[in-house]
Homo-oligomer: A and B are copies of this chain.
Amino acid sequence: MREIKQIQNVYIKSYAAVGSLIEGAGRFSKEYDVILQDPLCAQDSWEKAESVFLKTAIDKALEKSTLSQKDIDVIISGDLINQCTSSTYAVRDSGISYFGVYSACSTICISTIAGALFIESGVGKTALTAASSHFCTAERQYRFPLEYGGQKTPSAQWTATASGALLLTNEPTGIKINSVYIGEVVDYEITDTTNMGAAMAPAAAKTITDYLKKTGKTPGEFDAIFTGDLGNIGTQLLYNLCKLENCDITANHNDCGKMLYDGTNIDCHSGASGCGCSASILCGYVLNRIKNKELNNILFCATGALHSPLITKQGESIPGICHLLNIVSA
């Protein structure tokens, strides 16, 4: 049975968000720890560049923690790229226990949930959890290589070139992971691969409304409810689906896909997407505000579309998932 899991002893010691040119040009530019001006990071492929974005976030989170590599018990990371190579190659030289997770754009939530379980079990004291995406790797893999100059439909979203990393510990800090709710696969039989918001919104609605029902809480009892990355279309669908369950989250909800490129001059159509979207908003804007007590009790609900380019060409629909983190100031 799908249940909310209370977490007793897991805290966020440090975190870091990394973006590139466009991510650093908008309303949230100051929330990033590092803006890598060269999206290719002086590598010879976009895939190798994405590993640099991920490694930069991990290194920065570690640096901000004042811990060193030998203090870290495990790294848990994931990305959108086939066989999760962005993560593997980012941690290749670390000598730290590592495993990969796959949950599409909801990865930062599930890597952090897995890290929280690792610490809560008592087997380890520290975990680095991370996720990344890159516009150019995602275009090549899910759509067309950039050189093709493919056009996007209005419902499509723009994959963030960004990454985020958190360092979890069992020692109290000002930020606590209070509860987690692992998503279930929800499939509304959406088959339009240019409308990820529609594929993911049902999973977000199910996770949020289930969470509120099971806890007996109202949306207003949280300082904010974030989803990521539904974009403009997915967010409207989320509101509609929640209303069917007599749940109105509009007053204190925001979506990472709507937020990320706010204030930039990029035409991102329905919004931002990619693991790096929710990861960098969480590890920048959101945690900065929990740290300074502007927000004290939030729900962070990253969303993912769990298809592959191959399986949708075989006629399959696009299943969605939404994992939830309840983070509080402590």
Interfacial residues, chain A to chain B (CB-CB below 8 A): 1-3, 5-7, 44-45, 47-48, 70-74, 78, 80-85, 88-89, 91-104, 110, 113-114, 117-118, 120-124, 180-185, 187, 306-311, 314-316, 319, 321, 323
Task: Name A309's closest neighbour in chain B (CB-CB).
Answer: B82
Give the residues in chain B near A5, CB-CB below 8 Å.
Answer: 123-124
Give the residues in chain B near A183, CB-CB below 8 Å.
Answer: 97-99
Give the residues in chain B near A309, CB-CB below 8 Å.
Answer: 82
B120 touches A121 (CB 8 A): yes
Task: Name A3's closest neighbour in chain B (CB-CB).
Answer: B73
B83 touches A308 (CB 8 A): yes
Given A3-B73, A89-B316; A182-B117 close (CB under 8 Å): no
B99 touches A323 (CB 8 A): yes
Given A99-B103, A120-B121, A121-B120; A184-B94 close (CB under 8 Å): yes
A221 vs chain B, min Cβ distance (A): 22
B319 touches A92 (CB 8 A): yes
B185 touches A94 (CB 8 A): yes
A120 vs chain B, min Cβ distance (A): 4
Starting from the known contacts A3-B124, A47-B310, A100-B102, 7 additional A-B residue pairs (CB-CB under 8 Å) come to A2-B97, A47-B311, A83-B308, A92-B319, A96-B184, A97-B183, A99-B182
Task: Name A323's closest neighbour in chain B (CB-CB).
Answer: B99
Number of copies: 2
Interface centre among A3, A5, A72, A315 (most CB of B within 10 A): A5
A47 to B311, CA, bound (A): 7
Task: Name A113's closest neighbour in chain B (CB-CB).
Answer: B99
A85 to B318, CA, bound (A): 10
Given A94-B184, A321-B98; A307-B85 close (CB under 8 Å): yes
Interface centre among A2, A48, A315 (most CB of B within 10 A): A2
Give the residues in chain B near A78, CB-CB below 8 Å.
Answer: 102
Give the residues in chain B near A98, CB-CB below 8 Å.
Answer: 182-185, 321
A310 to B323, CA, bound (A): 29
A325 vs chain B, min Cβ distance (A): 13
A110 to B104, CA, bound (A): 19
